[in-house]
Amino acid sequence: MSDRKGKANLEDIARQAGVSKMTVSRVLRGGTGFSDDTRDRVMATARQLGYVPNRLAAAFGSDAASTLVGMCVPRLTSGLFGHVLDGVDRALSRLGYQVMIGANNHSTEEEEAWVRQVISWRPAGVILSGRSHSPGTVDLLRNAGMPVVEIWDLTTSPIDMSVGFSHHDCGAEIGQFLLRRGRRRAGYVGALARADVMGQSRLDGFQAALSGGGHPLVGKEVLSDTPGFYAGYYGLETLLARNLHLDVVYFHNDEMAIGGLAYCQARGIRVPEDLGIVGWGGMEAASVLPKRLTTTVVPTTAIGKAAAEALVARLRGEPGADVTVIPTRLVPGETA
Amino acid sequence: MSDRKGKANLEDIARQAGVSKMTVSRVLRGGTGFSDDTRDRVMATARQLGYVPNRLAAAFGSDAASTLVGMCVPRLTSGLFGHVLDGVDRALSRLGYQVMIGANNHSTEEEEAWVRQVISWRPAGVILSGRSHSPGTVDLLRNAGMPVVEIWDLTTSPIDMSVGFSHHDCGAEIGQFLLRRGRRRAGYVGALARADVMGQSRLDGFQAALSGGGHPLVGKEVLSDTPGFYAGYYGLETLLARNLHLDVVYFHNDEMAIGGLAYCQARGIRVPEDLGIVGWGGMEAASVLPKRLTTTVVPTTAIGKAAAEALVARLRGEPGADVTVIPTRLVPGETA
DNA sequence: TCAGGTTACGTTACCGGTAAACCTGTGGCA
DNA sequence: TGCCACAGGTTTACCGGTAACGTAACCTGA
């Protein structure tokens, strides 16, 4: 056994089984061109030597052999993206791929830095979150010539493929829903400001719908904090302190909306009578609250799965749509 | 430019800059053995050609050059592990490493399958969650001779290194705390049963403390469901239906405890007067609830960071402890 | 009976870096 | 003057697979 780290390689197996390296390679990859007898002998030898394949060598030697997929999310601590990641990982690992992760913290520069790193591993493909990227990122990916899936926020002109839904439509749908329910003085509580392009899209859609219905947004409060429970709590406190006589507040996401609900409960504000509360995302907690949160449920796992499958389909040369819509669902709860 | 995918390589840069491949390699890695003039020329040429390094080739050619780290968590959808992953990723990406993820779904077999895959990429090191692994996993890792960090549940005899805290102690601490607060009839609501070894450790510690204090656990309900809000809600409902006159319930984690709180609120059970509720983990939501949840706060991000740093220290040959304790903190809230 | 296809292999070249050993000119010093 | 150290390189070998092509033995049908 050639003993760089004491590991057996194809050559060791070949020698011991009395065949060539290439035959061993073919057998282990489950190809054709060998007899049943040879296959059994090679397999037995490989097992006996404790052979651990070297994907590094395989991917290096042949551009087609990489089973690595890069996936970049805005934040690893987001509950929603945890589910997306889970969907991606389940689908890909079942097909023999491995996932390399990254977080861009809602920054296109950080995303570009990550893409630069991940590309240096010559992955089979890359999954990005969102549809706004730096020119450098787009260049790098175009040049790399590998499948790219942009998820979460749908785009009709993707770098390569897009899987997700329209954030703008989500916001608009909620706006129209609230108008139908008779709400007239809507506010918004968000976080991360310009950084989160997709949250901004929802707000844009929301505002457009409200204005279109003749009752434009009355006030908004956008913190530069992490969009979590705290930010929802204090964001609502700040917004209400401005005495705008709001009758409903749309939140950046469910976490923040639940923070808002906590604030209402603490201050004796009745929901939905005194104030309506609406979230976005569809986290599990939202449905076991004393009052079920009105929100948009996003099929996170399905998006991850669809992205992974689109990527693999392209790698296999199967035909597939460039744009896949995974619809969200407005779930009227008891808070608006 | 040799055009396998149209990408420039060291040789292209070398030719154009009028030096050898090796000199280019040294310059790009920031080594020594070249003049300032040569360095500037090489750097300029690399930029001009849009050189993207090939880490695959580097890691393949030299076992020491890998910047890949594998990280396996029980579930990617867990809020706590999202933070651990974040801690790991931040620390590692700052140091130039990339993270390959995996989920074992609380199964040592799935973990072994993942380890087999990740090792085939010849990573610089591996981070695992938990301390119970299949013999095959331990063999593979020992044989690979790379740094391994076991996180989350501390072990005094790690495969290589261990970073975390004792789940058993967490449970015991809560047990003692509740006894001091005068609770005498404690119950437990959990999930995943045998599969989640660490949850079981907490329960063991909890029971030991209660028994030691003369008031053993009265009843428990362990669902084979995902340990989330729903499971907490229905688990508590089922447990209380047995009319055991419990005065406090310890939950597998905060999500389940919050589900339990939701159940109490729905049924008019006063917390903490009629029933105490205790969680585990320290999720953000727990602190903006109408009543702050009594729980154990786990420094998730710090554990991830410490694990990453221990791994890198070992890679650099710096001295470091094999076992690093990251203490948890019992936070008495208003629910017990 | 023999051209032509098929099966079951073997051979060769190559992927793009890095380690290690090897050169070469220059300056310092005994 | 001769020797050595050192800066600033170059050369060579190798990592472990895979693609592409070559080939001998066997089969098959006209």
Write down all domains in chain B, each with its CATH number in brackets. 10-53 (1.10.260.40), 66-165+300-328 (3.40.50.2300), 167-297 (3.40.50.2300)
Handedness of CA B258, B263, B265, B270 (dihedral sign): negative
Give the closest nucleotide to A61 (alpha carbon vs C1'): C15
pLDDT of residue A31: 86
Handedness of CA B91, B95, B100, B104 (dihedral sign): negative
Strand ranges for A130-262 from DSSP E? 148-153, 161-165, 186-191, 219-223, 248-251
Q: Are A161 and A148 in contact (CB under 8 A)?
A: yes
Residue B284 in contact with partner chain A when CB distance is under 8 A:
yes
Q: How many CA atoms lie within 13 A of B208 on its CB side?
A: 13
Q: Considering only alpha carbons, which residue of chain A is nearest residue B92?
A: A102
C-beta neighbour count of A141 within 10 angstroms: 23
pLDDT of residue B182: 97
pLDDT reading at B38 higher than 50: yes
Residue B91 in contact with partner chain A when CB distance is under 8 A:
no
Percent of chain A predicted with pLDDT > 90: 88
Q: Is A116 exposed, middle or buried (0-12, 13-18, 19+ CB in 10 A)?
A: middle
Q: Considering only alpha carbons, which residue of chain B is nearest residue A234?
A: B288
Percent of chain B predicted with pLDDT > 90: 88
Q: How far apart are CA B241 and CA B232, in angstroms?
A: 14
| Mean pLDDT of the region B105-116 | 96
Q: How far apart are CA B38 and CA B40, in angstroms?
A: 5
Cβ within 8 Å of B, A 123-182: 140, 143-145
Nearest to B190 by CA among B112, B249, B251: B251
Q: How far apart are CA B186 and CA B163, in angstroms?
A: 31
Strand-pair partners of B219: B187
Residue A105 in contact with partner chain B when CB distance is under 8 A:
no
First CA to last CA across chain A, in angstroms? Answer: 70
pLDDT of residue A193: 67
| Digit-coded pLDDT (tens) for B197-252 | 999 999 999 999 999 999 999 999 999 988 988 999 999 999 999 999 999 999 99
pLDDT reading at B287 higher than 80: no
Least CB-CB distance to A258: which of B102, B140, B285?
Answer: B285
Cα–Cα–Cα angle for B78, B83, B87, rounded to 5 degrees:
145
Hey, are the CB atoms on B89 and A101 less than 8 Å from each other? yes
pLDDT of residue B187: 98
Q: Is A29 exposed, middle or buried (0-12, 13-18, 19+ CB in 10 A)?
A: exposed
pLDDT reading at B64 higher than 90: no
pLDDT reading at B4 higher than 70: no
Q: Are B42 and B79 in contact (CB under 8 A)?
A: no
Nucleic acid strand D: bases within 7 A of protein CB: 7-12, 14-20
Chain A partners of B59 at a C-beta cutoff of 8 Å? 56
pLDDT of residue A291: 86
Q: Is B197 exposed, middle or buried (0-12, 13-18, 19+ CB in 10 A)?
A: middle
Hey, are the CB atoms on A82 and B83 less than 8 Å from each other? no
| Digit-coded pLDDT (tens) for B133-189 | 999 999 999 999 999 999 999 999 999 999 999 999 999 999 999 999 999 999 999
Chain A partners of B82 at a C-beta cutoff of 8 Å? 76-79, 82
Higher per-residue confidence, A244 vs A265 = A244
Chain A partners of B269 at a C-beta cutoff of 8 Å? none
Cα–Cα–Cα angle for B77, B83, B84, rounded to 5 degrees:
100
DSSP calls for B83-141: HHHHHHHHHHHHTT-EEEEEE-TT-HHHHHHHHHHHHTT--SEEEEESS---HHHHHHH
pLDDT of residue B170: 98
Q: How far apart are CA A204 and CA B27, in angstroms?
A: 49
